[in-house]
Amino acid sequence: MRSHLVVPALALFAALDVGVVLAQPTASRVEARLVPGVAFQHGIFGDDDPKAIDAVAMSVGGHVLLRRSERFAWVFEGTLHPNGFQNPHFDENVSPLHLQFGPEFGHRVHVRPTFGIALQSWSGTRSCGCVDMVPAGGIASGSEHAVGSRVRIVPEPFARGSIAAGAFISAVGAQVGVGWKR
């Protein structure tokens, strides 16, 4: 699994260099967002006889931003897809919790590539009843809108996915972050 994390790690180091260039010499500030969303979920299960399953479901998450300037922030995001993905081969269901980190570039309009892990919780009569840690990645882009002096609304289209032995899981949808600035 370590080899799967080499490319995301190199991408984050490259973003670090860009982030240092974009960051103005201003004080860092921390922001938080609550991020509900709706996603088109797609899962492919099985190595020998792959079968896909699609569903529309909700997602719920949160972002913590370390704002380095008005145009750059480091972001940790955690997103849960509570409805899960049903394996079409067996009586098992997987619910991923994505824990990802990456840079957010832009001021009013931004883009945020992220990499990290997904904790895949398996349930059902044919499942291992375990939690797998697998590589994950995603991208989001959106715009920030002020509501008063402290509240920010951040609508974003997003795509995220994770891959494990015998399963590829992806979600594409829209989420709306509600953020607070100090």
Q: Write the pLDDT tens digit of every residue in 42-98.
A: 989 887 788 998 999 999 999 999 989 989 999 999 999 888 888 888 888 888 999
Task: Map residue 88 onto helix, strand or coil.
Answer: coil
**In the chain, what are the domains?**
2-180 (2.40.160.20)
% of the chain at pLDDT higher than 90: 50
Torsion of CA 35, 172, 85, 90, to 10 degrees: -170
Greater confidence (104 vs 47) lies with: 104
173 — pLDDT class (breaks 50, 70, 90): very high
pLDDT tens digits, one per residue of 7-33: 555 555 555 544 444 444 466 789 899
| pLDDT, position 38 | 96
Has residue 166 got a pLDDT over 90? no
Residues in the chain: 182
111 — pLDDT class (breaks 50, 70, 90): very high
Mean pLDDT (the chain) is 85
Euclidean distance between CA atoms 178 and 30, whole angstroms: 14
CA 160 to chain centre: 6
Has residue 125 got a pLDDT over 90? no
Which tokens in the block code for residue 157?
């289209």
